[in-house]
Amino acid sequence: MNKPNLLTLSFIIIVTIIIGVFFLSISEYYKRDKISLNEYFYTKAICNETNYCQDYEIVCKENKLIRLNLITGASIQHSLNWKDPRDEKTKNGLC
C-alpha cells in the first residue's frame, strides 16, 4: 500500500471512531432522561424556612422518589410572614 492510501485509510478510521463515540454518547444521554411506563413526573415548588421557594421536577416510581431536578430560573422569595396555603400532605409529600 502506498503512503497516500495509508493516510486516507487512517483518516477514515479515525473519523469513523470519532463519529461512533459521538453518537454513542448522544444515545446514552437520551436514555438517561427517559422515564419508564410505571414512572411519572410533575413539578412542585419546595420552600425553605425563609420562604424562598424553588420549582423542582419530581420523578416517582411506585410512590418512591427516583429523581429530584431543580428547574433553574423558577424561584420566588416570599415575605417572612407568608404562609404556604397548601395543606401538609400536599406541601411535604413528594410521591
**pLDDT tens per residue across span 14-53:** 777 777 666 666 666 655 556 677 888 888 888 888 999 9
Q: Where does residue 73 fall: left (phi above 0), alpha (psi -120 to 50 degrees), or beta otherwise?
A: left
Query: What's the pTM?
Result: 0.54
